[in-house]
Chains A and B, each alone.
Chain A
């Protein structure tokens, strides 16, 4: 897999700090799962975080180490455990395992989508599958639309996006994606905002998924 498009430093830093919206974070994670170079950049950021932690100013704790190891505190966990993740589906990114997926639904000629349920996320997340040569309508964004290509490819004004690539579009982008004529394309996308017709995916899916 030869990756040509990666998350910006800003996007990766937001991911590294855990501040990114969970839906957007999931699309970044899908890219990280397959791209060693982005994982190296992430580790660099984590290393910076570790250094900053070591050098930071301490604030006195209420408890001492001995308090913490005494009594039943060791069996105390954080909240209730989450329900067990569904069995992983073959061919899907591993980072999707904790999430429930809807069924594939046709949303047009040779286009189908399935929801990725991310409770509490601002972004809506979905997998999209389009047949070879499918052209998507020319459109603008009003929110963010982050995409990781899982297989196949598409092409638009900003370049060709193939398996593993990360496409970080925002309100500045206007594009007309065309799916690879031979391979088709499967991707995962997260779209933010509550405005109608906010992106090529949003525009296409809006009537069906009530974006």
Chain B
């Protein structure tokens, strides 16, 4: 598994804000160069064909261009926002034939869940802390987190993929989550 460095969050946030303010094509190009190949790579790793992964990656970045004005850097960082856009588009494309309404459900939940007054501040802070905490996970923990929380495999499927016992998967995930949540305690 290749594990790159985390890029400073606020640079990417500023690029989206620049698109929203002035349709900044240079900012778009920089975002595209970072995120599109990663969206594509992750989808392919999860078993999506190169062709479909390319399509989702393109649509994801186009959605970033179109929806830039809706981006709220206080709520989530660029990476988190773009990951949820990619998730919704993948659902739309994968379930095109069954006319899934699921991405609308995510959007409704995202619209205005009654937040705590301080949630806007803690949203961005949460991303910073989670990234820091993730660099402290062991490679084994990182891998189960990746399979379970990004590729969406069940614990059983993670165990099968890694050829390790189910109990090991569950305990690694539990440890990883408790480590991540521990870093967020005082934001609650």
Contacts and interface: CB of A to CB of B under 8 A. Distances in A.
- Specify whether A and B are partners: yes
A39 B188 CA distance: 12
A49 B5 contact: no
Contacts of A51: 6, 79-80, 127, 130-131, 134
A14 B152 contact: yes
Interface in B51-91: 53-54, 57-59, 61-62, 65-66, 76-84, 86-91
Interface stretch (A77-85, A132-140, A168-176, A200-208): A77-85
A26 B109 CA distance: 11
In order of increasing CB-CB distance, the 4 nearest A-B pairs are: A120-B98, A17-B152, A50-B80, A19-B152
25 contacts: A13-B148, A13-B149, A17-B151, A18-B87, A18-B88, A18-B91, A25-B105, A29-B108, A33-B108, A49-B80, A50-B77, A50-B80, A50-B81, A50-B83, A54-B6, A55-B3, A56-B4, A61-B36, A74-B66, A78-B96, A79-B92, A82-B104, A95-B109, A98-B104, A120-B98
Interface of A: 9-10, 13-14, 16-20, 22, 25-26, 29, 32-33, 36, 39-40, 43-66, 68-69, 73-74, 76, 78-79, 82, 85, 94-95, 97-99, 118-120
Interface of B: 2-7, 25, 28-29, 32-33, 35-42, 44-45, 50, 53-54, 57-59, 61-62, 65-66, 76-84, 86-93, 95-106, 108-109, 113-116, 123, 126-127, 130-131, 134, 145-146, 148-155, 173, 177, 180-181, 184, 188
